[in-house]
Amino acid sequence: METVKKHAYMAEIKKEQAERYIADCRNRKEELDRKMKEAGFLQCRLYMQEVEKRTCLFCYTETAENGKKETPCSEWGDKWKEARHVYEFKLHEGDDLTCLQSKGIIIGAKRELLDEYIRLHDYQPQIIHDLCYQNGFRKSSIFVTELPGGGLYLLQFVEFLGEENPALYENDTYQEWLRVTGECQIPLPGEEFWKQMRPVYEFKR
């Protein structure tokens, strides 16, 4: 299986500037796709989300281990901060990953419990992985980032097969996993769980 390097970045920008980026991505989609392919990216996804009354962009990338080291973020400004990669969903050998749906989600993290959250995922029970896989999860990467002068946030970039089955959240084992990990999290205002971010641009090879 090909070794893939995964990165995530965050940038705080003015709302009107973000709207220009959205229009730019829509109008230059073919050109941007060509640039990403030429630069050796396997995937690049851009999202926008209001956090602490600030407009933020979040970028997720995948490159081959021996691919180019440049970042696509320069297409959307120069104020990017790289996030820390803290969890990776184990891939299953032989899975077809070419026709997956994707989303980016965000939730706050309690600073004093961040290490505990990472520890829980480092020792995630196999049954939790299996339940997620049975529910269509195929790829999931979690990163942590800090808003300058603000809080900590977990970013999760997920790829899944089919539609999510609500029955997963009725499973007692999975509910307990959500309880213990949820103690380390702070949902965004008005939310009860992870918040789905607004997709702006997506490139997949």
Q: What is the Cα–Cα distance from 151 to 145, expressed in whole angstroms?
A: 9
Q: Any idea what the CATH number is for the domain that residue 38 is in?
A: 3.30.70
Residue 15: predicted pLDDT: 87
Residue 6: predicted pLDDT: 93
Residue 129: predicted pLDDT: 95
Pairwise pLDDT comparison (205 vs 120), residue with the higher score = 120
Q: Does 18 have pLDDT greater than 60?
A: yes
Total count of domains within the chain: 1
Residue 70: predicted pLDDT: 58
Residue 181: predicted pLDDT: 98
What's the domain range around 56?
4-204
Q: Does 73 have pLDDT greater than 70?
A: no
H or E stretch at 38: helix 29-38
Pairwise pLDDT comparison (200 vs 93), residue with the higher score = 200
The mean pLDDT of 79-83, rounded to a whole number, is 90
CB neighbour burial string for 33-59, b if at least 16 within 10 angstroms, e if fewer: beebeebebbbbbbbbbebeeebbbbb
Q: What is the Cα–Cα distance from 55 to 39, expressed in whole angstroms?
A: 28
Residue 95: predicted pLDDT: 85
Using CB atoms within 10 A of its CB, is residue 140 exposed (0-12), middle (13-18) or buried (19+)? middle
Task: Determine what percent of the chain is predicted with pLDDT higher than 90.
Answer: 67
The two structure tokens encoding residue 114: 């961040």
Mean pLDDT in the chain? 90
Whether the model clears a pTM of 0.75, i.e. scores above it, the answer is yes
Q: Does 127 have pLDDT greater than 60?
A: yes
Torsion-angle region of 107 (φ positive above 0: left; ψ -120 to 50: alpha; else: beta): beta
Q: Does 69 have pLDDT greater than 60?
A: no
Residue 66: predicted pLDDT: 65
Confidence of residue 94 (pLDDT cuts 50, 70, 90): confident
Q: Does 68 have pLDDT greater than 70?
A: no
Q: Does 168 have pLDDT greater than 80?
A: yes
